[in-house]
Amino acid sequence: MRFVFLGPPGVGKGTQAARFSERHKLPHIATGDLLRVAMKEETSVGLKAKSFIENGRLVPDEVIIALMEDRIQAPDAKSGYILDGFPRTIAQAKALSEILTRNGVALDCVFYFSLGDETLMERIVGRRTCPDCHAIYHVSYHPPEKEGLCHCGGILFQRKDDVPETVAERLAVYKNETSPLITYYKNENILTEINADQSIDRIAENLQKMV
Ligand code: ADP
Ligand code: AMP
Residue 149: predicted pLDDT: 97
The pocket around ligand 1, CB under 6 angstroms, is made up of: 7, 9-15, 123-124, 126-127, 136-138, 141-142, 198-200, 203
How remote is the CA of residue 174 from the centroid of ligand 1, in Å?
16
Which residue in the list 19, 48, 71, 159 is annotated as catalytic?
159
Q: Which atom of ligand 1 lies at the shortest distance from residue 197's CA?
A: 23
For the chain, list the domains and their CATH numbers: 2-117+165-209 (3.40.50.300)
CA of 92 relative to ligand 2 center, distance in Å: 12
d(CA 95, CA 184) in angstroms, rounded, equals 13
The per-residue pLDDT for range 144-196, each reduced to its tens digit, is: 999 999 999 999 999 999 999 999 999 999 999 999 999 999 999 999 999 99
State the catalytic residue, choosing from 36, 123, 127, 128.
127
- Closest ligand 1 atom to residue 30 Cα is 2
> Atom 2 in ligand 2: which residue has the minimum CA distance?
32
Tell which one of 4, 115, 127, 173 to mutate to probe ligand 1, the residue whose CB is within 8 A of the most ligand atoms.
127
Residue 113: the pLDDT is: 98
- Note if 170 is an active site residue: yes
Find out whether 157 and 128 touch, Cβ atoms under 8 Å: yes
Q: How confident is the model at residue 84 (pLDDT cuts 50, 70, 90)?
A: very high
Q: 0.75 cut: is pTM over it?
A: yes
Percent of the chain topping pLDDT 90 = 99
- Centre of ligand 1 to C-alpha 39, Å, is 23
Looking at every residue in the chain, the average pLDDT score rounds to 97
Per-residue pLDDT at 93 = 98
Q: Which ligand has the shortest distance to the CA of 114?
A: 1
Catalytic-residue membership of 127: yes
Alpha carbon distances (Å) from 173 to 10, 56, 112, 169: 13, 8, 17, 6
